[in-house]
Amino acid sequence: MVMRAKTVRLLPRRSRAAIDGTGLETQYVSRYYRWRSGRPEWCREWPKLTVVCDLASHFWLAGHVCMGPCMDSPQLKPAVSQAVAHQAIDELLGDKGYDAEHNHRLCREELGIPSTLIGVRKRSSLSRTQRWPDAPYRREMKRRIPRSDFGQRWQVESAISRNKRRLGTALRARRWPMQQWECYLRVLTHNLMLLAGT
């Protein structure tokens, strides 16, 4: 599908991309019903879809599914590895959930992405002393992001929002293996809708 997107000039030869994740509902019940049932929202498990999105076209270069709630950082490796297998990426943007020195090293030194812009998460000890991060890539982020166009990361959030508006926020499958397949089907459908519009 990536080759088709390049053929119709939906995708450039090399992408500037962003990574983000979103949770999907597994049942058609309102928040009010869940509140009345007495089960706290944070106790529920839900499928989490992490996507790598080309910023210019909103084409999804990769999708990774896991069970949430969980930290964002571990999902970077499988999602970005899948993306660079099909499309060269010049720069990767991510929010503070993906802030980890090993994620920068993975992208720069192993996956061949020349530039990463991942927000630096404030840690309590650092925020009190106003120290800069010790790790080299994280120090670079702290220095670069205020002067960069990191704000374009909203493009991936916009693509996820559009996907949910068109396809809904709830999955129809009830069993975990089928929920995973349905999430991947959402990625495929998202890209097909973009291709149909070209």
- pLDDT over 90 at 108, yes or no: yes
Q: What percent of the chain has pLDDT over 70?
A: 88
**pLDDT for 41-61, tens place per residue?**
555 789 999 999 999 999 999
How many CB atoms neighbour CB 182 within 10 A? 17
Is the C-alpha dihedral spanning 53, 58, 62, 63 positive or negative?
positive
Residue whose tokens read 């839900």: 46
Beta strands in 55-194 (DSSP E): 60-68, 88-94, 115-118
More confident residue, 186 or 39: 186
Q: What is the mean pLDDT of residues 95-118?
A: 94
pTM: 0.86
Close Cβ partners of 116 (under 8 Å, ≥ 6 residues apart): 91, 92, 93, 94, 103, 104, 107, 108, 137, 141
**pLDDT for 4-17, tens place per residue?**
999 999 999 999 99
182 lies in which domain range? 2-196
Query: In the structure, what pLDDT confidence band is assigned to residue 197 with cuts at 50, 70 and 90?
Result: confident
Query: In the structure, what pLDDT confidence band is assigned to residue 164 with cuts at 50, 70 and 90?
Result: very high
Domains in the chain: how many in total? 1
The CATH number of whichever domain residue 163 belongs to comes to: 3.30.420.10
Residue whose tokens read 């989490």: 48
Angle of CA points 139, 52, 155, to nearest 5°: 80
